[in-house]
Structure 1
Amino acid sequence: MLDLQPLFTLAAEVGAPQVIADGPYGTRRFIPVTGGSFEGARLRGRMLPGGADCQLIRPDGVAELDVRATFETDDGVIFLMRGLGMRHGSDAVMQRIAAGEGETVSPHDYYFRESMIFDAPAGKYDWLNRLIAIGTGARRADQVVIETYEVR
């Protein structure tokens, strides 16, 4: 039986996507992480610039998400998050999100889920290395918000 415990809420600030259209598997989008924050009961801090979400938009409209991002805790420890996920919805909803109308599109109108693993240094946060997290997300105009849960 799965037990989900809140881990943190992350709010990633993102830049304009770099798009490679009509490749052999679909359209590729590289979306830079430019900053952000995360906060939970056991850890909090900021997201560092330099990460990215490398998406594949499949012919069926599903966005396969492949994320690498670095986090810095409020006490100065840096760790990596690797995430794999999916986002999809009706054509109309996905077009509104792509057009930058993310603030007005309810996350209940589309599917956005991500699995995450972490790479933290030895010490206070090395417990992150021994868990899998899952999240449910919302895409805003220039931000991604993910409610993240530890799977126990």
Structure 2
Amino acid sequence: MELVEEFTFTARLAPSVPVGPGPLGTRRIREVLGGDVTGARLRGTVGSGGGDWVLIGPDGWGLLDVRLTITTDDGAHIYVQYFGVIEYTEAALAANAGTRPSQYDEHYFRTAPRLETGDERYAWVNRTLFVGEGRLHPGPVVEYRVHRVT
């Protein structure tokens, strides 16, 4: 089994809506406003209207639940959903505060994206297992390197 880098994408996020502390942790919601996708086989834009729901536990770790849509440069639409985990280290907190970007190696930020489309040109995404690693930028912007598991 190998990991092959498939694409990178960024997503611009709206300011968080602090749902606040609940029985499972502190929940925050951010709307996805747009972004870019770059890769050899997959290029396009991240559409608006998606969402990023995070549940932050008392241990400083967040559980991610994200849904968004990619529109490829050649007009295909791809639904993306992923779950993941993020460690809120000093670097991640600084990025969220707008101070500086975090780097991939400064915190554990991993996802398992599932892509789905009805466009035959991209049918391969329906049958591919992906994993991603993330980092944060002020803005707020999130950036992921997504790998295909072979």
Q: TM-score range by the shorter chain?
A: over 0.9
In structure 1, which of residues 133, 145, 151 is the aligned counterpart of residue 149 of structure 2?
Answer: 151
Q: Does 1:136 align with 2:98?
A: no
| SS of 2:65 mapped into structure 1 | strand
Q: 1:95 to 1:143 in 2, by over 3 A?
A: closer
**Distance in 1, Cα, partners of 2:149 & 2:29:** 28
Identical-pair percentage: 34
Counterpart of 2:31?
A: 32
| CA root-mean-square deviation | 1.3
TM-score, length of structure 2 as denominator length:
0.93
> Displacement of 1:27 after TM fit?
0.7
- 1:99 maps to 2:106: no
User: 2:40 matched to 1:41?
Assistant: yes
The yes-or-no answer on 1:110 pairing with 2:104 is: no
Amino acid at match of 1:4: L
Question: Letter of the aligned partner of 1:59 in structure 2?
Answer: P
Deviation of residue 95 (structure 1)?
A: 3.2
Q: TM-score, normalised by structure 1?
A: 0.92
Is 1:50 matched with 2:49?
Answer: yes
2 CA distance for matches of 1:14 and 1:89? 17
1: distance between equivalents of 2:75 and 2:68? 16
Conserved? CA contact 1:81–1:119, under 8 Å: yes
> Letter of the aligned partner of 2:21 in structure 1?
D
CA distance in 2 between partners of 1:88 and 1:125 (Å)? 33
| 1:94 CA displacement | 4.0
TM-superposed deviation, 1:93: 3.5
Cα deviation 1:89-111 (Å, max 9, x = unaligned): 43x334323322242x3332211
Q: What are structure 1's unaligned runs of at least 5 residues?
A: none
Q: Is the 8 A contact 1:25 1:59 kept in 2?
A: no
Partners of 1:84 and 1:130 lie apart in 2 by 18
In structure 1, give the amino acid aligned to 2:143: V
Q: Alpha-carbon deviation of 1:7?
A: 1.0
- Distance in 1 of aligned mates of 2:25 and 2:96: 16
Distance 1:135 1:59 in 2: 24
Contact 2:12–2:32, Cα closer than 8 Å, also in 1:
yes
Matching of residues 80-95 of structure 1 within 5 Å: 80-90=79-89, 92-95=90-93
One-letter amino acid of the structure 1 residue matched with residue 147 of structure 2: Y
Q: Map 1:60-79; keep pairs closer than 5 Å.
A: 60-79=59-78
Partner amino acid for 2:128? Answer: L
SS of the equivalent of 1:125 reads helix
